[in-house]
Amino acid sequence: MATGLFTLRQVNQALAQKAWSGTQKTNFVEYLVVAGGGGSGEYGGGGGGGGLLTGILPVATGSSITATVGGGGAGGTSGSSAGSNGQNSVFGSITSLGGGGGGSANASNANGTAGVSGGSGGGGSAKFGSFSIIDAGQGTSGQGNAGGRGDASGGQAYQGGGGGGAGTAGFSVGTDPAAVVNSGGAGIASAINGTVTAYAGGGSGFRAGGAYPSYGVGGVGGGGNQNTAGATNTGGGGGSYSPAPSGGSGIVIIRYPSTFADAASVSNGTKTTANGYTIYTFLSSGSITF
Where do the domains of the chain lie? 28-290
Which CA distances in Å does 66 have to 14, 69, 109, 113, 279? Answer: 32, 10, 42, 36, 16
CA distance 6 to 201: 51
Q: Indicate if the pLDDT at residue 180 is higher than 70.
A: no
Least confident of 50-54, 148-152, 184-188, 235-239: 148-152
Q: In this model, does residue 66 exceed pLDDT 60?
A: yes
Task: Decide if 45 contacts 85 (C-beta within 8 A).
Answer: no
**Per-residue confidence at 9, pLDDT binned at 50, 70, 90?**
low
Q: How many CB atoms lie within 10 A of CB 194?
A: 13
**Cα–Cα distance for residue pair 22/25, rounded to 1 Å:** 9
Prior bond of 177 cis (ω within 30°) = no
The reported pLDDT for the residue numbered 121 is 96
Task: Tell me the HSE value of 122 on the side-chain side, using a 13 A CA sphere.
Answer: 48
Mean pLDDT computed over 216-243:
95
Asked whether the beta carbons of 212 and 178 are under 8 A apart, the reply is: yes
- Per-residue pLDDT at 108: 64
pLDDT over threshold 50, residue 20: no
Tell me what percent of the chain is helix, strand and coil, each rounded to the nearest 5: 5, 30, 70
CB 70 within 8 A of CB 89: yes
% of the chain beyond a pLDDT of 90: 68
Distance CA 44, CA 210 (A): 16
Query: Residue 132 pLDDT more than 80?
Result: no
Question: Which amino acid appears at position 51 of this protein?
Answer: G
CB-based contacts of 164, cutoff 8 Å, min separation 6: 48, 49, 99, 100, 120, 121, 122, 123, 136, 137, 139, 144, 145, 146, 147, 148, 170, 184, 185, 202, 237
In a 3-state reduction of DSSP, which class is residue 8?
helix
Residue 23: pLDDT band (50, 70, 90) is: low
Contact 47, 37 (CB under 8 A): yes
Task: Decide if pLDDT at 51 tops 90.
Answer: yes
For range 204-226, the mean pLDDT: 80
- Residue 269's φ and ψ, nearest 5 degrees, are -115, 150
Report the alpha-carbon distance of residue 260 to residue 276 in Å, rounded. Answer: 10
For the cut 60, the answer to whether the pLDDT of residue 11 exceeds it is: no
Nearest Cα residue to 164 out of 227, 219, 245: 219
Question: What is residue 134's predicted lDDT score, i.e. its pLDDT?
Answer: 86
The residues with which 160 forms a beta bridge, in sequence order, are 125
The confidence score (pLDDT) of residue 55 equals 98
Mean pLDDT computed over 221-241: 96
DSSP 158: E
Mean pLDDT of all residues in the chain? 87
Is the pLDDT confidence value at 44 over 50? yes
